[in-house]
Structure 1
Amino acid sequence: MPSHDSSSSKGLEIQRTFNKITDYYDRMNSLMTLGRHAAWCREVAVRTKVPAGGSMLDVATGTGVIALAALKKYPDSTIYGVDFSERMLSEAASKPGASAVRWQHADANELPFGDESFDAITHGYLLRNVEDVERVLEEQYRVLKPGGRVVILETCPPRGLLRYPVTLGVRVLIPLLGQVVARDRESYAYLQKSTLGFMTPNEVVTILRRVGFASISWRKKFFGTHMIISAQKP
């Protein structure tokens, strides 16, 4: 889950939020996506195309859903899962098979890895929770090997005919589920705002190109409220 610059006030606030919702995080993701979240994470893992014996970094790993999906898909690879929420990392590390993943506390703005360390990088719902999207993507570009891929799962604001009903549904449903399931309306009100307030796919693609990525493709999911974007380092 979201990594951030934990030294900033916004970073500390987001860190507290994700430490707070750890116990309900997987259940809420499943409910909010009508059970599709796990399948999207598997799709992200598949799209990395990690080579045999390669390595993958899942940034903002949260409860480790993408990292564990990658381990299942590429069992002979080295998978790292990093996050700035200690509670999320503890939850990820407690899951079946998790001992094979290298879990590590890290900030997405300053990844503790050398240049060109990984064959692939993934993240889910990271970018909407950072202050400087370009800086975070530059860090990923730095630690990615030439030819390596980054695959991103993110929310995006709905467009077109469904824009208004879907927006209304998100505004009402997410805080309501937070109240009923997690007894935490406040945290999920923040998640609702960050979901509707994030960039369009084209805006993310523009930043990826500016950073240096190429071969960029994307597809929308779930009434246009989610997207999976793939890009390659030349």
Structure 2
Amino acid sequence: MRNEDSSVQATFNNIARRYDLMNRLMTLDSHKNWCRDVAQFASSRSGSSYLDLATGTGVIARAVRELNPSAAIIGADFSESMLEMARHIAGNSSIDWQYADAHELPFADGEFDAVTHGYLLRNVSDLDRVLAEQFRVLKPGGVLAALETSPPAGLLGPFIRVGMRVVVPTLGTLIGRDRDAYKYLVSSTLGFLSPEALRLRFHQAGFVDVQVKPKFMGTNMIWTASKPG
């Protein structure tokens, strides 16, 4: 694991206990609905095997389970603290929780009907490799659905950036109890690719039918894509 990945891993280990609460606060309680939207797209085509990367406490994985009671679902993360939280949440016992680094997935080629993730791509050191790994483990015709942050743009962009730099670390101090971790999450969002640039990276990885739906004044995006059949 690269040094920058180890640092990100430590960050998420440190904030695991209050991660879901912070997500609710930072998105004005919209996070769960967005995760459900991701799960609904992943389940829109018949399938029996699902992989949820950067699963955290399993919000997306649980939503997939509600839609697919008999499917095999793996919730994978490289934060052991997040996985430990996930294992003890009610409703998570039927999901297989596994440690995995998104840069080198321990799964076979063409193993899954769908891959999902939330807030993964902005936190990886090699985006192209991570997308290539997701493409590899998908079955032909399989789908990808992801929730990701995006740098604020447009006329309100500068004001939203200032607000994020002030509000999120403050919440991180008062609620998350780790100001530095949430300062990192702000910087990783503001420094991430524009939607146009990220769309290109999906295409370069081999995905087709790449679509994006903006949420929350364009600071969050729901991405969907397919592997050619």
Which residue of structure 2 lines up, in the alignment, with residue 127 of structure 1?
Answer: 121
Normalization by structure 2: what TM-score?
0.97
Equivalent position of 1:180 in the other structure: 174
Distance 1:68 1:40 in 2: 13
Alignment of 1:47-196 (within 5 A): 47-49=41-43, 51-52=45-46, 54-196=48-190
In 2 relative to 1, CA 200–53 (structure 1 residues): closer, same or farther, beyond 3 Å? closer
C-alpha distance in 2, partners of 1:216/1:83? 24
Deviations 1:127-178 (CA, angstroms, capped at 9, x unpaired): 1011111100000000000110001110001111111111111111110000
Deviations 1:54-84 (A, max 9, x none): 1110011111110011101111211110001
Q: For residue 10 of structure 1, what is the aligned residue in structure 2? A: 4
Moved beyond 3 Å, runs of 4+: 50-53
1:200 to 2:188 alignment: no
TM-score, normalised with respect to structure 1: 0.95
Mapped to 2, the partners of 1:220 and 1:80 lie a distance apart of 27
CA distance in 2, matches of 1:54, 1:219: 26
Per-residue CA shift, 1:193-225, capped at 9, x if unaligned? 011111111111101111111011111100110
- Give the count of matched residue pairs: 228
- Superposed CA deviations along residues 80-123 of structure 1, whole A, max 9, x for unmatched, are 10001111001011111111001101110111110000000001
Q: Aligned-pair RMSD on alpha carbons? A: 1.0
- In structure 2, relative to structure 1, the CA distance for the partners of 1:148 and 1:108 (3 Å cut) is same
Q: Could you say which residue in structure 2 is the equivalent of 1:225?
A: 219
Unaligned runs of 5+ in 2: none
The answer to whether the 8 A contact 1:217-1:229 is kept is yes
Report the counterpart of residue 3 of structure 1 in structure 2: none
5+ residue gaps, structure 1, are 1-6
% identical equivalent positions? 51
